[in-house]
Amino acid sequence: MSFLFTVATTLSKELKVEWRSKEIVLSSALFALLVVLLCAFTLDLPTLAGRPVSAGVLWLAVALSGMLALSRTYEREKGFDAFRALLMTPAPKSGVYLGKTLAVCLYLLTVELVLCLVLELFFHEPVLRALPRLLPVLVLGTVGYAAVGTLFSAMQLRTTLKDLLLGVILYPLASPVLISAAKASQIIIDGGSLVDAADPLKLLIVADVLFVVAGLWLFGPLLEE
């Protein structure tokens, strides 16, 4: 059973299920939108003039709504206990992990693109104009967050603590990704180039590599009882 075939099969299944239910993208987008609106109406924007806040709000919304997406991804596995049949196949579990991580990335990137539009509207910062330069940061930040999130969300399948455990473990681990992504996004929305954001981007790339490698390595053992 080839690794790439397992990745493609898992990704295709995840996207098919999401296309039918639209549950993860819709609920995550609505939740993220609520976070943005709360920030837009409670932050005193005129006194913050000249100090970009949209990058922080963007990644705050991604962090919170992302947990919802991660949680729902595994709820599907638990519905009819399908993951047990999955564990009994000879498919490499690292391939299942990568397929799931890529699916979560696609869900979150869709939400982030919607958020960029809303941030431009409510925060009057040039988020859409910066989008071509912002896109690599969004991708890198999302990959890191999804990589660590997909790994630890899998623990939901083996514990009754569920979301509590996920929150306690996920946020401290994902903080280097979220902080670096927010810092790099802030520089870019502020008119800077990717070179200007090199420092946080380097940290982001290192965290991504570490989390993806750890996920590929640990996902299988984590699912075993």
Partner 1 sequence: MSEPITSVRLAGVSKVFGAVRALSPTTLTLGAGEVVAVLGPNGAGKSTLLSVLSLLTRPTSGQVLINERHAVAQDTCRIGLLAHAPLVYPELTARENLRFFGKLHGIDALETVVREAESAMEISEFAADRPARVLSRGQLQRLALARALLHRPNLLLLDEPASGLDASSVTLVGRAVQAVREQGGMAVLVTHEPLIAAQLATRAVILVKGRARVDAASPGDVEAWRKLYFETVGGAS
Q: Tell me which residues touch partner 1 (CB under 8 A).
A: 1, 5-6, 9, 13, 16-17, 20-21, 76, 79-82, 84-91, 224-225
CA-wise closest residue to 1 among 74, 86, 76: 86
CA distance 18 to 75: 13
How far apart are CB 106 and partner 1 at their closest, in Å?
17
How far apart are CB 4 and partner 1 at their closest, in Å?
12
Smaller CB separation from partner 1, 71 or 179:
71
The token duo for 54 is: 């949209």
Smaller CB separation from partner 1, 44 or 225:
225
How far apart are CB 68 and partner 1 at their closest, in Å?
18
Smaller CB separation from partner 1, 8 or 114:
8
How far apart are CB 63 and partner 1 at their closest, in Å?
27
| Contact yes or no for 97/215 (Cβ under 8 A) | yes
How far apart are CB 169 and partner 1 at their closest, in Å?
22
How far apart are CB 96 and partner 1 at their closest, in Å?
8
Smaller CB separation from partner 1, 43 or 87:
87
Smaller CB separation from partner 1, 92 or 141:
92
Smaller CB separation from partner 1, 12 or 193:
12
Phi, psi of 129 (to 5 degrees): -65, -35
